[in-house]
Amino acid sequence: MPGAIAFEFPDLFFGGLWLTVQLSGLGLIGALVLGTAVALMRVSPIAPVRWVGAAYVEFFRNTPLVVQLFFLFLGLPLLGLRFASDTFDNIFRAAFVGMALYHGAYVAEVVRGGLLGVDRGLIEAARSLGLSYAQTLREVQLPQTFRAVIPPLGNIAIALVKNTSLASTIGVTDLLFAAEIVESRTFRAGEAFLTATLLYLALTIPLGLVVNGLERRLLVVR
C-alpha cells in the first residue's frame, strides 16, 4: 500500500508532519500581522514611512527564501543575535521568522491592493463626516478590504505550507526532512517520497478547495 512506510517510521513522518503544520500555522499568523502592518505603512500619508514599507516588500519578494533562512540561521548568531539558546529551538524560530518575513511581503501587497481598492468617495465621505484618519481606516477601509483580500490570502497560505519544506535545508525536521532521513536509512526513496507527497497533498489540496470555494462566494468585481 502506498504510504505504508509512514507506519514503519511514525515518529519521523507524523512528527515531521506536525512540525510542518506548526510552522505553517505560526508562520501564517506572523505573516498576516507583519503584512497588515506593512500594508498600513505603504498607504501612510507620511512619505518616509511609505518608503520603508516599499523597501521591505521589494527586498523580501525579490530574494530567495532559502537565502533569507540561511541568513537568519547562520548570520544572526554571529552578530550575537540568537532566537533561543537551545539549538533546536533556535533553528525552528529562525524558520518561523523567515516564513513570516518572506510571506509578510506578499500579504502586504495583497492588503495594500485591497486598501487602495476601496472607493475614494467612501473615504472622503467618512472624512467629511468628521472621522479621523485612523477612524476612517478602522471603520471604513479595513472592513471593506477584509472581504476582498480573503481569497488571495488563502493562496498565500497554500504557498506558505509548501514553502515550509525549505526549513529542512537549515535542519528543521519537517515532513521533507523525514522523507530524506527515511530514504538514507532504508534506500526506499520511492516509498519515502511518495509518502511525503501524499501527506503534503493532504494538507494543500483541502486548503486549495477551501480557497476556491471562498473565491466563488466572495468574488468582488470592482
Partner 1 sequence: MRPDTWGMFADPAIWRFFGDGLVQTLALSVVSVVLSFPVGLAFALGRLSSRRWIRWPATAYVEAIRALPVLLLIVYFGIKGSSLFRPIFGADFELPRFWAGVLGLSLYTSAVLAEIIRAGILTLPRGQTEASRALGLSYPQTMRFVVLPQALRLMVPAMMGQLTTVIKDTSLVGTIGVFDLLRQGRTIYTQFFNPIEVLLIVATIYFVICFVLSQLSRRLELGSVTREAKIRMTELELRDQAA
Q: Residue numbers of the site for partner 1 (CB under 8 A)?
A: 58-59, 61-68, 70-71, 74-75, 78-79, 102-103, 106, 109-110, 113, 151-152, 155-156, 158-160, 162-166, 168-169, 176, 179-180, 183, 189-190, 193, 196-197, 200-201, 204-205, 208, 215, 221-222
190 versus 213: smaller Cβ distance to partner 1 = 190
Q: How far is the CB of 187 from partner 1 (least distance, A)?
A: 9
Q: How far is the CB of 46 from partner 1 (least distance, A)?
A: 24
73 versus 92: smaller Cβ distance to partner 1 = 73
Q: Answer yes or no: are the C-beta atoms of 102 and 163 closer than 8 Å.
A: yes
* Cα–Cα distance, 109 to 93 (Å, whole number): 24
- The dihedral region occupied by 46, where left means phi > 0, alpha psi between -120 and 50, and beta the remainder, is beta
Q: Provide the grid cell at 158.
A: 497554500
Residue with cell 520511492: 190
* Cα–Cα distance, 126 to 123 (Å, whole number): 5
37 versus 65: smaller Cβ distance to partner 1 = 65
12 versus 126: smaller Cβ distance to partner 1 = 12
Residues across the chain: 222
78 versus 134: smaller Cβ distance to partner 1 = 78
Contacts of 149 (CB under 8 A, 6+ apart): 110, 111, 113, 114
Q: How far is the CB of 115 from partner 1 (least distance, A)?
A: 15
